Amino acid sequence: MRVLGVDPGLTRCGVGVVEGVAGRPLRMVGVGVVRTPADAEVADRLVLIERGIEQWLDEYRPEYVAVERVFSQHNVRTVMGTAQASAVAMLCAARRGLPVALHTPSEVKAAVTGSGRADKAQVGSMVTRLLRLDAPPKPADAADALALAICHIWRAPATNRLQQIAAAHRRVTAPVRLPKGTR
């Protein structure tokens, strides 16, 4: 499985591609950051993010895209920019028919470090170990993108199984509709 992780942001949008399956060693395929100038108009910045993500999708051909789920912070401006960048990543994936998974920061931290309250340094350290890198990816947004991809690879088998069970349950418990006049 090849996953593009996206840590959305207007100034720095972390991107990282990880390949592998749960229970086996993972491999980093690529990591980086899509940057936009802080003094540019928001619409122009979103176009730059879209172009950057499209380049990553073209070059690395992921099968899935994992995006950090936006959560409420105290600074509404920051949340808006993050949400807008997140929407661009989801749009780029959807345009190509790629499945998109949203993972909360605490889910990602728990998957990678064992603690949903881990700090950025702990996440970077564990990403470095798990992917057998020489040093943590810089900036932290890049390491976070890799952590998102790792989280998705590890969670995908359980998530897929739960979705299959839910779909089977819906089929079994769906009400039977008899044609009119047969009651």
Annotated binding site for Mg(2+): 7, 68, 141
Work out the angle at residue 67's Cα, subtended by the Cα atoms of residues 26 and 63, and round it to the nearest 5 degrees: 55
> Which residues fall in the annotated binding site?
7, 68, 141
Question: Angle between the 105-113 and 140-173 helix axes, to the nearest 10 degrees?
Answer: 100
Q: How many CA atoms within 13 Å lie on the side-chain side of 1? A: 23
The catalytic site residues sit at 7, 68, 141
Beta bridge partners of 121: none
82 Cβ contact partners less than 8 Å away, ≥ 6 residues apart: 8, 9, 10, 68, 70
Q: Could you tell me how far CA 43 lies from the centroid of its own chain?
A: 22
Spatial contact of 104 and 147, defined as CB atoms under 8 Å apart: no
Spatial contact of 33 and 139, defined as CB atoms under 8 Å apart: yes
Residue 133's φ and ψ, nearest 5 degrees, are -95, 160
